[in-house]
Amino acid sequence: MHFSKIVLFSLIGISLSACLTDSSQKEENLADCIKGWSLNQRGQYTNALNLYDRCIEYGNLTEGNLSRTYRNIGIAYRGLKEYEKSIDYFNKSMSFKPYDKQNDYINRGNSWSDLKQYQKALNDYSMALEIAPRNGQAMYNRALVYERMGRLDDALSEYKLAVKNGYTSIDVINAIRRMNFLYGKT
């Protein structure tokens, strides 16, 4: 009888402890992350980084939102032309296994491209396309790298493939026109 009272009180204690823990936890607060992204969009990268740090520290972020915040930090560092740091943050974002990991590969590929490490950039764009085979943005960025490498036929094919897969930004349309005009491609 004594043993069952101890077990019962232990179970009640565990349940009570779990309830107190759940009710005392703060709700996720993305306000600083959202403000940071707004500043990122306006090119105010240093101020955005300060807000992202605050969001990580006080925002009680879920794993998914923590991953996206690290990605946004990487984007801010890329905007500051601190490409190695941006790569570190894209890697950190990927360590959380985000559902949209292809975006980390695309962003990291962009940083590799900025560093003129074109093969690493192409590898990242290819990884993005393994995850999301119809991602026109990855195709477009891969085309840019092919063009920078002087692989003009590959670049033009990839630009056209990006459009075929729904990436119809003015940049890709202009790239196709430019290549057709400058390089006599059809």
Neighbouring C-beta atoms of residue 58, cutoff 10 Å? 12
Separation of alpha carbons 185 and 75, rounded Å:
34
pTM summary value: 0.82
Which candidate, 66, 124, 134, places its Cα nearest to that of 99? 66
Bigger pLDDT: 179 or 92?
Answer: 92
Could you read off the pLDDT of 91-122 as tens digits, one per residue?
A: 999 999 888 999 999 999 999 999 999 999 99
Separation of alpha carbons 74 and 92, rounded Å:
9
Domains, the chain, with CATH or none: 29-96 (1.25.40.10), 100-186 (1.25.40.10)
Please check the confidence at residue 155 and state whether its pLDDT lies above 80.
yes
Q: Which amino acid is at 58?
A: Y
The average pLDDT across 122-133 equals: 98
The average pLDDT across 77-101 equals: 96
Please check the confidence at residue 68 and state whether its pLDDT lies above 50.
yes
Res. 81 pLDDT band, cuts 50 70 90: very high
For residue 25, the model assigns a pLDDT of 64
% residues pLDDT > 90 (the chain): 80
For residue 184, the model assigns a pLDDT of 73
For residue 32, the model assigns a pLDDT of 96
The answer to whether 67 touches 102, Cβ cutoff 8 Å, is no
For residue 158, the model assigns a pLDDT of 96
- Please state, rounded to an integer, the average pLDDT across all residues of the chain: 87
Separation of alpha carbons 148 and 170, rounded Å:
19
The answer to whether 111 touches 78, Cβ cutoff 8 Å, is yes
Please check the confidence at residue 133 and state whether its pLDDT lies above 90.
yes
For residue 183, the model assigns a pLDDT of 74
